[in-house]
Amino acid sequence: MDKRSYVIDELISAKAIAARVEALAKEIEEAFHGTDKLIVVGLLRGSFVFIADLVRELDLPVEVDFLEASSYGGEMVSSREVRILKDLRGEIGGRDVLVVEDIVDTGFTLNHVLRLLSSRGPRRLETIALLDKPSRREVDIKATWTGFEIPDAFVVGYGIDFAQRNRNLPYIGTVRFTE
Ligand code: 5GP
């Protein structure tokens, strides 16, 4: 783990996030209008705050499930190799599925998860990412909906951690090392 001291500079305010989540929920409601059940799949752990806010804005019949893929593991760079650490509890065959990701960075994680889930035959499979770092992309993939495009910076807050800390910040900030 990185032991250097750092400060967090606010990048996206809690208010801006709330407004964007509300707008995204409206688009999702329209896209899935008439669904008998939308299975919202949160990718642990970084999406837990986002999914909690998002589902409360959705006026649709919703079921929530979670999937955990291996991530940076305390490091600040992507490992590229994605493993499933915790699979879904429920079946998604023939269902409408929305995968909720915190950040699309290189794209390896989302790509791996979407391949896995599409092999299970969902009726419809869409994705929403709170943050997108397009300049970092290595796999040609884009979420159906994106909250905010951000520059190539390491971010924390609103569910997103640095070595398991700072998930509880209500805003999104960038990490700046002070030594
Ligand atoms: P990808 O596979 O697209 O390179 O990485 C996606 C995952 O990497 C995200 O779900 C997130 O867990 C992690 N990640 C990417 N960028 C950041 C960042 O700026 N901060 C943190 N804490 N995690 C990040």
Tell me the residue type at 122: P
- Distance (angstroms) between ligand 1 centre and the Cα of 29 equals 27
Q: Tell me how many domains the chain contains.
A: 1
Share of the chain above pLDDT 90, in %: 89
In a domain, residue 163? The reply is: no
Report pLDDT digits (tens) over 69-125: 986 555 666 667 889 999 999 999 999 999 999 999 999 999 999 999 999 999 999
In a domain, residue 138? The reply is: yes
In a domain, residue 132? The reply is: yes
Going across the sheet that includes 145-149, the strands are: 84-86, 62-69, 38-44, 96-104, 124-132, 145-149
Cβ(105) – ligand 1 distance below 6 Å: yes
Q: What is the DSSP string of 2-71?
A: ----EEEEEEE-HHHHHHHHHHHHHHHHHHTTT-S-EEEEEEETTTHHHHHHHHHH--S-EEEEEEEE--
Query: CA-CA distance, 126 to 140, in Å (whole number)?
Result: 16
In a domain, residue 158? The reply is: no
Torsion over CA: 35, 64, 58, 61 (sign): positive
Residue 126 lies in domain: 14-152
Tell me the residue type at 123: R
**pLDDT reported for residue 76:** 62
CATH code of the domain in which 50 resides: 3.40.50.2020
**73: which 2 tokens?**
């593991």
In a domain, residue 157? The reply is: no
Residues 6+ apart with CB under 8 A from 3: none
**128: which 2 tokens?**
């929403």
Nearest CA, atom 16, ligand 1:
105
In a domain, residue 96? The reply is: yes
- Distance (angstroms) between ligand 1 centre and the Cα of 86 equals 17
Cβ(72) – ligand 1 distance below 6 Å: yes
In a domain, residue 167? The reply is: no
pLDDT at 147 over 80: yes
Q: What is the DSSP string of 97-119?
A: EEEEEEEESSSHHHHHHHHHHHT
In this prediction the pTM is 0.95
The minimum-distance atom of ligand 1 relative to the CA of 82 is 2
For ligand 1, pick from 8, 75, 101, 102 the residue to mutate: most ligand atoms within 8 Å of CB: 102
